[in-house]
Amino acid sequence: MSLNSQNSTETENPKNANVQWGGRFAGGPSEIMQAINASISFDKVMWKQDIAGSLAHAAMLAHVGIISKEDEATIRKGLTEIGQEIAAGNFPFSEALEDIHMNIEARLSDRIGEPGKRLHTARSRNDQVATDFRLWVRDAIDGLNQQVAALMRSLARRAEEHAATPMPGFTHLQTAQPVTFGHHLMAYVEMLARDRGRLADTRKRLNECPLGSAALAGTSFPIDRKMTAELLHFDRPTANSLDSVSDRDFALEYLSALSIMAMHLSRMAEEIVIWCSSPFSFIRLSDAFTTGSSIMPQKRNPDAAELVRAKTGRITGSLVSLLTVMKGLPLAYAKDMQEDKEPVFEATDAAALSLAACDGMVRDMTANTAQMRALAGSGYSTATDIADWLVRVLKVPFRTAHHVTGRLVAKAEEKGVGLADLTLQDMQAEEPGITDDIYSVLSVDASIASRTSEGGTAPGNVSAQAQRWLKVLGAEPTAAGQ
């Protein structure tokens, strides 16, 4: 676009009217108009969905006798060839033709003449774009769903491997109680399972076909909306034509689900960053998932994890962006809604890359089990086990046991030793009923092994959970290479 066109209300080529809708226009749009109006630069990614929608529409038009079978066959052949042309990178995309819908339709008419001009009968770009976009989001959900499953599988495998590896469990990022590394990894499997559930819910609600709603009011042609819905693998046609062309809930639900998932991935990424830092040194990432510093030769930076953490901003931003576009729009379609696509495309790319990076890091990381075990026992992490022993063996009320244990922690702190290093006399000074048996609960392994309550960190629980998920996920169809 040239800068001086900003001052011109007329176009440089007044006869350049749009070939699709330019009938009543004497001139074409200004360059600025064209630049703000065109979406082809980004909506071309929906070409497959647009062709699928048109094929279904044409088949239906022929089935009910609105166009002839011969015209439908010609349209089908034309659209198939256009698909090949686009796939091969030979399609002449034109900004003047605004979007993917008009680019393909104009090309069809160029190639096959009159039958091509019949395709848009009983349809509008409003129901067309609503259909294409639903199909695109549905495909994206299916792709991401596979990726989430792959990540869950990798996590469960690593969790099985580390079902009995102690690590410090934190609350407030303060050492709380020992847990196993496997248990920690399985927590993310649960989060991701809910993310998949949200994507599946979105898909279920999305799966109604708006095609045939036409511009906003429906059509006077005797169309068969059930047929197009079925051909495009929707569960049913949508019920209200106004709602159909103005609804973008499916995209918003999708972005909401992605935002929550991105938040989960960001938390995982943040933990990877912490675990890799030298004061923690819980894990190590290989050269494949780290970068070096240009000045500090010793550095091994977890850039992939940091970028996963950061990409959350784009994904959440996309949700806010589309919510803002949609808020306050009167029914039915308004061109504002063309701004629905980039946030969805951008969030999808960011989510796919983040999932791939997380999967890569989870497979790649090596656990520093000695360091994790050492820190699991530091910070009086088995204090709760003392309190529980007092309750269980001496029948002391828990609140009292908590106070006694608090005094024992203070004593250990004073002497600069761990709880297991306190003498029996030290212990009995606070609670005379304490016996030698209390030492049996003070080790990290004993603490972990005792957490056998449902959902607890005992190694047996953790490997059972990991195996359960591997079985569930293993039974599902997987994407190639996973």
Which residues does the annotation mark as catalytic?
172, 293
Residue 90 C-alpha from the chain's centroid: 32
Separation CA 199–CA 347 (nearest Å) = 14
Smallest gap, in angstroms, from Cβ of residue 221 to ligand ARG?
19
How many residues bind to ligand ARG according to rule CB under 6 A?
A: 11
Would you count residue 322 as binding ligand ARG (CB under 6 A)?
no
- Evaluate whether 422 touches 436 at the Cβ level (below 8 Å): no
CB 225 within 8 A of CB 177: no
| Smallest distance, ligand ARG to C-beta of residue 159, A | 44
Q: Which of 338, 381, 457, 463 binds ligand ARG (CB under 6 A)?
A: 338
Name which of 129 and 383 has its Cβ closer to ligand ARG.
Answer: 129
Stretch that binds ligand ARG, among 166-174, 193-201, 278-286, 330-338 (CB under 6 A): 330-338
What gap in Å lies between CA 408 and CA 424, rounded to an integer? 11
Q: Tell me how crowded residue 326 is: count the other CB atoms within 10 A of its CB.
A: 19
> Segment contacting ligand ARG (CB under 6 A): 50-58, 176-184, 235-243, 333-341?
333-341
Q: Which is closer to ligand ARG, CB of 99 or CB of 431?
A: 99
Residue 215 or 356 having the CB closest to ligand ARG: 215
**Which of 39/259 has CB closer to ligand ARG?**
39
Among residues 118, 120, 125, 203, which is the contact residue for ligand ARG, using CB under 6 A? 125
Q: Which among 71-79, 114-122, 123-131, 396-404 is the span making contact with ligand ARG, rule CB under 6 A?
A: 123-131
Q: Which amino acid is at 261?
A: M
The footprint of ligand ARG on residues 31-90 (CB under 6 A) is 39, 43
CB 102 within 8 A of CB 125: yes
How far is it, in rounded angstroms, from Cα 288 to Cα 145? 25
Give the C-alpha separation, 434 to 449, whole Å: 22
Strand bridging mode 366-367 / 283-284: antiparallel
Nearest distance, CB of residue 340 and ligand ARG, angstroms? 7
Considering the complex, what minimum distance in angstroms separates the CB of residue 39 from ligand ARG? 4
Alpha carbons 326 and 223: distance in angstroms, whole number: 30
The DSSP bridge pattern shows strands 166-171 and 283-284 to be unpaired
By beta-carbon proximity to ligand ARG, the closer residue of 335 and 395 is 335
Residue from 67, 75, 104, 129 that binds ligand ARG (CB under 6 A)? 129
Contact flag: residue 463 with ligand ARG (CB under 6 A): no
Q: Per rule CB under 6 A, is residue 148 in the interface with ligand ARG?
A: no
Which of 337, 383, 419, 458 is the binder for ligand ARG (CB under 6 A)? 337
List 99, 105, 247, 359, residue binding ligand ARG (CB under 6 A): 99
In whole angstroms, how close is the CB of 133 to ligand ARG at the nearest point? 8
Nearest CA among 301, 300, 289, 278 for reference residue 362: 289
Phi/psi at 433 (nearest 5 deg)? -75, -10
241: contact with ligand ARG by CB under 6 A: no
Looking only at the bridges linking them, the beta strands covering 236-237 and 208-209 are: parallel
- Backbone φ and ψ for 175, nearest 5 degrees, come out as -55, 125
Taking the complex as a whole, the smallest distance from the CB of residue 222 to ligand ARG amounts, in Å, to: 24
CB of 217 to ligand ARG, least distance (A): 13
CA distance from start to end of the chain: 45
- Give the list of residues 6+ apart from residue 212 with CB closer than 8 angstroms, or none: 122, 123, 127, 218, 219, 223, 225, 228, 237
Q: What are phi and psi of 213, to 5 degrees?
A: -75, -15
Interface with ligand ARG, residue 333, by CB under 6 A: yes
Peptide bond into 464 cis (omega under 30): no
Q: Minimum distance between the CB of residue 125 and ligand ARG, rounded to whole angstroms?
A: 4
Cβ–Cβ under 8 Å, residues 64 and 224: yes
Which of 30, 109, 126, 290 binds ligand ARG (CB under 6 A)? It is 126
| Residue type for position 298 | Q
Site residues (vs ligand ARG, CB under 6 A): 39, 43, 99, 101, 125-126, 129, 333, 335, 337-338
